[in-house]
Structure 1
Amino acid sequence: MSHNTWELLADKYEWVKKGLSAQSAEERHDAFYKSLEFGTAGMRGLLGVGPNRMNMLTVAKANLGFAKYLVETFKGKQLKVAIAYDNRHMSREFADVSAMVLSTFGIDSYVFTQPRPTPELSFAVRELGCVGGIVITASHNPKEYNGYKVYDETGCQLVDHKIQRVIELIEAHPDETTIDVEVGNRALIHDINENFDTVYKKAVSGIQLRPKEAKTLKIVFTSQHGTSYPIMRDIFVDAGYEVIVVKEQSNYDPDFTNTKTPNPEDKDSYDLAIEYAKQYDADLILSCDPDADRMGIVVKHDGSYVYLTGNQGGSILQEYIYSTRRELDTMPMNPIMFNTVVTSDLGEKIAHNYGVHVEKTLTGFKYIGEKIEAHNRQGDYEFIFGYEESYGYLLADFVRDKDAPQACIMVAEAANYYHNRGRTLVDVLNMLYDTYGAHVEMQVAITRAGSQGLQEIQDILTTFREGNFKEFAGIPVAYSEDFLTSRRSDGTDLNFPTSNVLKYTLTDGSWVAIRPSGTEPKCKFYYCVVAQTLAQAQEKYELLKHAVSAIAKI
């Protein structure tokens, strides 16, 4: 779309006028050289003017496609859509324009009156009997970003075969500048107020396995300026925990003023929370990302505060949940756990030890949500746990997305249970290493922004895809898997949807995986390294990382 076409809107929309005048030549090129991609994970990008930016018109265009998809898919049904949004710049405005566009198709929208967690949106879709849902969020991205995600009638993000039709309908209307975002029927737009929080909080509180266990744990909690406050505070208090909230990060601040980063995967995000923990001598720190679908853990162990990765948190949670359910005789007849192809193998080993069936999916919690629904319909397995290495967990399927509040209350329960017996979550992790072997799971991400960066990332994938590598750091490759062709090197069909992911499994049980991010200009390298001791695993990881980085030239 040309810059000139947008200039015609400058007199109608003040935000367009201001945005165009503020753009440098380089910014103008990036904002107009293509349309913002609506992919299998929805749409996420920098805020600003132009077709390659998140703004009122590009969001309206996405909603045109989604509205047409709903009308086409649910013919003859009452069409209701739930809409939630986070604390970011323009989130409320994008939620409003989404509802306005849907109303022009006769679709009722139920919009939260305040920023609310992404998992609560998934819950609302199911609870209110909606045919779909929308979340306005850029998750843990920097403040300059925002995003748009769509959900189906089960509360799950639209999977590939569904989202592809939405994409086709969006692309059928290429000119977003022709959309009037001020036209709509406000009679079809309804509020979801704070009373609904009570229903969601009750459901989350209900997942506790040992609600009567004496609460001796002291917790520091931060919402990173996002949507999990005050909901998570209330859940902790109702459960009887002593919780200290990081006050400076408990307001809905779109600039994330009092945190170095809102991403719980980044250790810098815990700096202020650790200061609180030291001041109050807290045992546990829990942090949610802004839209409250991811959760991070820091544990006081031997006088120091130890960060746990998403893989480690998932392994510890499984050990606690499965052992507790076995003890209480509440393990389902045919339990099933889901994780992804880039998640550590340690969790799978724990699950198998407790007789829990395991299925893997591609990266993206929508694939886990899809599998939950499929097995519920078939009645063959009962969902017990799902997680990703990227700090996303689900424990009960009244939500079909990763749910940080669920994870928070269960991590608190596990930590409290072990605390009452003189152990920390780090002690539990070390016990798992003693039982199943030491596992070092790491991720290295490189950022390559802009059109040139996108090409660099594609070149890295091509280098590995065409390299036919037989070893890394002297460790032979047992087999490789290319999820773009859905084939293993021995010719086996992987039976996954196609995705630009490569994975190399080594003869010692370690593996390396490579994939471009679906929401950020990044290429990610995943490592799962196995050895007898933690020191050996760490040393092996450094060698593998060096070998892979040399090939990728990073």
Structure 2
Amino acid sequence: MDFEKNFQQWLASDELSDSDKARLASLTQEEKKEMFFCPLQFGTAGMRGVLDLGTNRMNVFTVRRATKGLAEYIKTLGAEAMERGVVISYDTRRFSSEFSIEVAKVLAANGINALLFDTVHPVPMCSFAIRHLNAIAGVMITASHNPKIYNGYKVYGEDGAQMSPESTNKVVKFIDKTPYFGINEVDANLTADNIKGLDNVKVHEHITVIGKSVDESYFDTISKLSLSPEAVEKFGKNVKIVYTPIHGSGYIPVTTILKKMGITVNVVSEQALPDTEFSTVRVPNPEEADTLRLGVELADKIGSDVVIGTDPDADRMGIAIRNDEGKFVLLNGNQIGVLLANYIFLRKKETGTMPKNGALVKTIVTTELARALATSYGVTTFDVLTGFKFIGEKIKEWEQSGEYTYLFGFEESYGSLVGTHARDKDAVVASMMFAEMVCYFDSVGKRVYDVLQDIYKRFGYYVEKARSITFGGLDGMQKMADIMAQIRSTRFEEIDGTKVLAQSDFVTRKKTYADGKVEDITLPQTNAFKLHLENGDWICVRPSGTEPKLKFYVATSKPTESAATSKAEAYLAYMENSVK
């Protein structure tokens, strides 16, 4: 793509303000290349980018263009689809509310009903609303837990899951045909302030503001997922739990559902209110220990053993718990998922509600400890590709066939779903269930840390680690492609002294064993490569779907935590050195 030509087209557009044109005029040649050399990539996870002008950035023009493409796709589905409309939600980031209003105006100009939330709402409530209101699609304006300079645009299908690859490809074809300027919008005076508090109010022929009614239905639905009401009634008022929304969209829903259940929560006041700058943290990511620092400080002050944090769009939950030495340790996504799974399975077994055909769903890069745990409860484990939409597909499949009953699904990347009310990660419910779990184990004289150690003592110490290599510059994507090709062409015999038993290539969908035997992989095609090692260890490599990053995942299990950690680090070092 000719970046200079694109740049000149933008500079000449009468839709840009004087300040916009001044910004463009100030760019260096390298900045022009970065901002205009290609369109912002749109995939099954939508698009995400740095906030700025340009074809390769997030701005009102790229948002309008993407929405016009989505509108054209919905038109092909017919008048009923247009009438069912699109749910629009947004988080607390820079320009999130403005972008959501732009989406509504473009959809309305194309005769498609827009169902716009009245204020900040998280990913799970967007997914729920799509299903609850029988919408044809949904748009969530968010960049999840990325730094403040980012924003993004997620698209959901009618089932509330992120849009399928097939539908996404159709949307992309329409986007590619759409110019950045001259996109029609309806003339409606909408701002974040003047729609706040409205509920089921039509502000334009094709724009309805939704709010409290949907919220109440969501809270009523998820409150029924409770597994230990007696423990909550007895211990909920006095339990000491710290919660931080990290300036994000989780504050209202998490505190609302915990209050509804009767669980006291101590909120980190400095991080309670929305803040587009996320000014109290380096990055608004609850996976990072320093992000939960204020939560840990409050926990130490009040004598709490548990800190819960949710990211800006409240689809991921981070946890810090106090160990035997009295120090807080940050749990990883696998540990959080296993703890929640264990609690769900245990309580269903104790209450006699465990179905005979219960199922747990995890991704191919998620811990095998989950499978060992599930098997001990008679629950079948299913692996799917990375991306929560694939977990959603399993739920849909079993709802139609009745073959299995979905109990829980999670990814190593801190996302999970309890219940089937939504089809994406739900950190509101995860926070609710984790808080309830604390109450339950309080009732039997255990701490969460003790429960985790008991699991390790029973099944062995499973350690999983992940690392990313970022490839900057215009040739970053090509560098990743070259490395993936190099890895695929290598016949690995052993990694750090551990024998390689088989190699799975998810592009060719073939699993090749060391003795030459080849099996078909039944999962859909994706750009990933996995090594299966002795003792159940594994290594997986895949490029990120939204960023120029190559991700390495390793997993091992040993009798002791130190041995497992040492082995996992050795695997990572081997793979990193192999691509240098």
With 70-79 and 206-215 compared, the bigger mean Cα shift is at 70-79
Of 91-100 and 400-409, deviating more is 91-100
Q: Which residue of 1 aligns with 2:160?
A: 155
Q: Secondary structure at the match of 2:265?
A: strand
2:519 to 465, 469, 492: 492
Task: Tell me what 2:244 maps to.
Answer: 222
Aligned to 1:255: 277
Q: Deviations over 1:68-105 (max 9, x none)?
A: 22221245442311100011111111111111111122
Name 2:323's counterpart in structure 1.
Answer: 301
Pick aligned residue for 1:36 from 32, 35, 40: 40
Q: What corresponds to 2:51 in structure 1? A: 47
Instruction: Name 2:300's counterpart in structure 1.
Output: 278
Counterpart-to-counterpart distance in 2, 1:506 and 1:337:
23
How many residues in Structure 1 have an aligned counterpart in Structure 2? 552
Q: What is the identity, as a one-letter code, of the residue corresponding to 1:337? A: L
What is the CA distance between 1:13 and its match in structure 2? Answer: 3.5
Structure 1 distance, partners of 2:467, 2:475, is: 20
Corresponding residue number in structure 1 for 2:566 = 539
Q: Does structure 1 retain, via aligned residues, the 8 Å contact 2:109–2:185? A: no
1:450 equivalent to 2:477? Answer no
Counterpart CA distance in 1 for 2:261 and 2:146 is 31
Mapping of residues 84-233 of structure 1, within 5 Å: 84-173=89-178, 175-181=179-185, 186-213=204-231, 214-215=234-235, 216-233=238-255
Residues 352-361 or 311-320, more deviating: 352-361
Partners of 1:446 and 1:276 lie apart in 2 by 34
User: Matches of 2:417 and 2:90 in 1, distance apart?
Assistant: 20
SS in 2 for 1:427: helix
Provide the C-alpha distance between the structure 2 equivalents of 1:110 and 1:76, rounded to a whole number of angstroms.
Answer: 15
Structure 1 residues 79 and 238 mapped into 2: Cα distance closer, same or farther (>3 Å)? closer
Residue 424 of structure 2 is aligned to residue 420 of structure 1: no
Deviates more, 1:268-277 or 1:394-403: 268-277
Q: Per the alignment, in what secondary structure is the counterpart of residue 372 of structure 1? A: helix
Q: Deviations over 1:464-509 (max 9, x none)?
A: 1111211110111111111122111142111222211111110121
Aligned-partner Cα distance in 2 for 1:552–1:281: 46
Range 98-107 or range 281-290, more displaced: 98-107
Alpha-carbon separation, structure 2, partners of 1:119 and 1:509: 34
Q: Does the aligned pair in 2 maintain the 1:84–1:121 contact within 8 Å?
A: yes
Deviation at 1:182, TM superposition (A): 6.0
Counterparts of 1:305 and 1:545 in 2: how far apart (Å)? 26
Correspondences of 1:507-526 after superposition (within 5 Å)? 507-526=534-553
User: Is 400-409 or 157-166 further displaced after alignment?
Assistant: 157-166
Q: How does 1:330-341 map to 2 (within 5 A)?
A: 330-341=353-364
Q: Match for 2:265 among 230, 234, 243? A: 243
Superposition map of 1:366-381 within 5 A: 366-381=389-404
1:181, distance to aligned residue in structure 2 (A): 4.7
- CA distance in structure 2 between the partners assigned to 1:450 and 1:484 by the alignment: 26
In 2 relative to 1, CA 186–17 (structure 1 residues): closer, same or farther, beyond 3 Å?
A: farther
Q: Helix, strand or coil: the match of 1:495?
A: coil
Aligned CA distance change for structure 1 residues 58 and 11 (closer, same or farther; 3 Å): closer
**Is contact 2:139–2:156 with CA below 8 Å preserved after alignment?**
yes
Q: TM-score, normalised by structure 1?
A: 0.96
Structure 2 counterparts to residues 329-408 of structure 1, below 5 A: 329-408=352-431
> Shift of the alpha carbon at 1:15?
5.9
Find the aligned partners of 1:67 and 1:366 in 2 and give their Cα distance.
22
Q: State the distance in 2 between where 1:253 and 1:74 align.
A: 40
- CA offset at residue 414 of structure 1? 1.4
Describe the superposition over 1:361-382 as per-residue Cα deviations: whole angstroms up to 9, x where unpaired: 1111011111211110112211
Q: Secondary structure at the match of 1:481?
A: strand
Q: Which residue of 2 aligns with 1:502?
A: 529
Q: Is 1:475 equivalent to 2:498 in the alignment?
A: yes
Q: How many Å apart are 1:253 and its aligned residue?
A: 0.8
Unaligned runs of 5+ in 2: 189-202
Does the CA-based 8 Å contact 1:159-1:370 persist in structure 2?
A: no
Residue 58 (structure 2) pairs with residue 60 (structure 1): no
Determine the C-alpha separation between the residues in 2 that align with 1:191 and 1:332. 40
Distance verdict in 2 for CA 1:188–1:389, change over 3 Å: same
> How high is the TM-score relative to the length of structure 2?
0.92
Deviates more, 1:493-502 or 1:383-392: 493-502
SS at match of 2:392: helix
Cα distance in 2, alignment partners of residues 465 and 74 from structure 1: 44
Check the 8 A contact 1:10/1:16 in 2, yes or no. Answer: no
What is the deviation of 1:180?
Answer: 4.0
Quote the Cα distance in structure 2 between the aligned partners of 1:369 and 1:341: 15
- After the TM superposition, which of the residue ranges 240-249 and 176-185 deviates more from structure 2? 176-185
Shift of 1:18: 4.6
Structure 2 residue aligned with 1:438 = 461
Instruction: Note if contact 2:144-2:311 (Cα within 8 Å) is conserved in structure 1.
Output: yes
1:76–1:546 distance in 2 versus 1, CA, 3 Å: closer
Change (3 A) 1:477 1:450: same
Q: In 2, Cα distance between the equivalents of 1:103 and 1:477?
A: 56
Q: Is contact 2:106–2:183 with CA below 8 Å preserved after alignment?
A: no
Larger mean Cα displacement after TM superposition, 353-362 or 30-39: 353-362
1:92-127 CA distances to partner (integer Å, 9 max, x unpaired)?
111111111111221111111111111000011111
Gap change, CA 1:18 and 1:253, over 3 Å in 2? farther
Q: 2:197: which partner in 1?
A: none
* Offset, 1:21: 3.6
Contact 2:15 2:181 in 1 (8 A): no
Give the letter for the 2:333 counterpart: G
**Matches of 1:260 and 1:196, distance apart in 2:** 34
Please list every run of 5 or more consecutive structure 1 residues that lacks an aligned counterpart in the other structure. none
CA–CA distance in structure 2, aligned partners of residues 392 and 201 of structure 1: 19
For residues 21 and 561 of structure 2, the distance between their equivalents in structure 1, rounded to whole angstroms, comes to 58
Q: Report the 3-state secondary structure (helix = DSSP H, G, I; strand = E; otherwise coil) of the residue aligned with 1:177.
A: coil
CA distance in 1, matches of 2:408, 2:77: 30
Aligned letter for 2:28? S
Measure, in 2, the Cα distance between the counterparts of 1:284 and 1:144. 30
Structure 2 residue matching 1:380: 3-state secondary structure: coil
Structure 1 residues 14 and 202: CA distance shift in structure 2, 3 A? farther
Pick closer, same or farther for the CA change 1:471–1:230 going to 2, 3 Å: same
Superposition deviation, residue 402 in structure 1: 0.5
Amino acid at match of 2:49: G
**Whole-Å separation in 1 of the counterparts to 2:173 and 2:320:** 44
Distance 1:402 1:125 in 2: 14
Distance 2:443 2:303 in 1: 16
Task: Read off the aligned partner of 1:268 and give its amino acid letter.
Answer: D
Q: Is the 8 A contact 2:68 2:183 kept in 1?
A: no
Distance 1:108 1:212, change over 3 A: same
Cα 1:104–1:514, aligned 2, differ >3 Å: closer, same or farther?
same
Task: Give the letter for the 2:575 counterpart.
Answer: V
